[in-house]
Amino acid sequence: MQGDAGRRRWGWAGLVLVLTAGSLLAASQGARRPSPSYPAAYPDLGITLIDEWVSDLDVPRDGKSIAYSRHDPRDWYMDIWTSGGSGRDRRCITCELAEPAKHRGGVGWHPSGRFLAFSAENDDVRTRKGDRLAEPEVGLNTNLWVMSANATKAWRLTDYETDYASPKGVVFPHFSPDGKRLAWSGPVDHAKTGAGREWGEWAIFVGDFEVQSGVPSVRNIRTLQPGDQHGYYQVDDWSADGRRLLVSANPNPGQPVTGLDICELDLVSGAFRNLTRTPGEWDQFAHYSPDGRHVIWASSRGLTEHFHSIDGVNWRRDIKTELWRMSRDGTGPRRLTFFNEAGWRDYAWFRAQVSGTSGVYVADNGFISGGSHVAVVLAYDTPQGLFGGVLAVLDLDRRRSMTDLTIPASGR
């Protein structure tokens, strides 16, 4: 349970947020299925549900635990939780953290297990819209923070002031495999908009992570804008040798933010190459396999999408993606999930056990258990406008051994 630290978050904006979230939760019960007791295993599909109201996750390189961001249904601000792959040892590690007091998410493990980096909303954000735009995937008016793994202390590493006209922020920080560097992305010029820069101009930041006398800091920050178009960038993962970054971006002139590709940035040579080339589809959240031979990512390829609006977080209403795997060089793409196509067991299971939504947004992910399982966020929108998400673990070996993921004709 949250103590005084959690109650400090509410204020007027928080009061509006909790009343709105509460009414939406009540209204959405017709669309959402009754919550199972977590964890909930569905071995016939190789799926285990770990938790609900989840937005993103990170898995350390040993693959033994999951850190994830979870909405508190009482005030809708995010906290950071951890769990093993079984889901039986879930715990909130920021619920008693006094500062920062609002959204805490977009978490990244330090390889030592001693620290977690995260994006946190500035405490002086005062509007509900500002609260929504400070969530991890948007990250406006946020700062980079690091906390001890037991969350007894947190340190702010950047100093972006709240600015509604030209906001700065931090999206999805990730430590290098040796723990000596931090990489993240964020907006640099909100005014530079246009085709391909619908969300303004963004950049990638890479800095040296240091701990002196027990106090973490980030120094020598480099600003990188690879590609010909400096639109949206999202840092997804580091290669095992610490030389390359997997990045979700729209780097080509005129390529819209709704047509993100997966790219690989060589931090030594500066080379920036596409692993996917699907400017009309949404590719995001890429991660290297433990052996470095494959990449998994979320993609809308093969799915019909029409975005009515991409302002703020409106794109969430229309996004549909599935989990895919490809070779390290971008060849041999193979689809792993089928949550958005009628006639598939994934589709029927999600609507029976999670939500009767029109679309599933397979989002952040990461390998666990040596690469035999994948932790993934399955997000969805409801007719009432409440964006939810469940944390699931997919047993890849089990799903690969299944002869057919389609529904038998007699069960249609």
Instruction: Confirm if 126 and 114 have CB atoms less than 8 A apart.
Output: no
| pLDDT (0 to 100) of residue 358 | 87
The answer to whether residue 171 scores a pLDDT higher than 70 is: yes
For residue 193 the two structure tokens come to 């908009």
- Structural tokens at position 398: 């089990």
Mean pLDDT value of segment 211-229 = 97
Q: For 362-393, how does the pLDDT look when each residue is reduced to its tens digit (9 = 90+)?
A: 999 999 988 999 999 999 987 666 789 999 99
Read off the pTM: 0.91
**Total structural domains within the chain:** 1
**Confidence at 312, pLDDT banded by 50, 70, 90:** confident
CATH of residue 131's domain is 2.120.10.30
Q: What was the pLDDT predicted at 315? A: 87
Nearest residue to 28 via CA among 389, 354, 385, 391: 385
CA distance 202 to 350: 35
Percent of the chain with pLDDT over 70: 88
Task: Compute CA distances 6 → 9, 78, 370, whole Å.
Answer: 6, 10, 36
Q: In what order do the strands lie in the sheet with 181-189?
A: 171-175, 181-189, 201-212, 215-224
What would the two tokens of residue 149 be?
Answer: 């793994």
* DSSP 8-state symbol, 225: -
Confidence of residue 196 (pLDDT cuts 50, 70, 90): confident
- C-alpha distances in angstroms, 368 versus 66, 84, 186, 310, 326? 8, 9, 28, 33, 18
Q: For the residues 238-245, what does the mean pLDDT come to?
A: 98
**Mean per-residue pLDDT, 234-251:** 98
Token pair recorded at residue 209: 């992570």
The residue segments making up the domain with residue 170 are 4-411
- What is the chain's Cα-based Rg? 20
Q: What is the mean pLDDT of the segment spanning 284-299?
A: 97
pLDDT tens for each residue of 53-81: 999 999 998 888 999 999 998 888 999 99
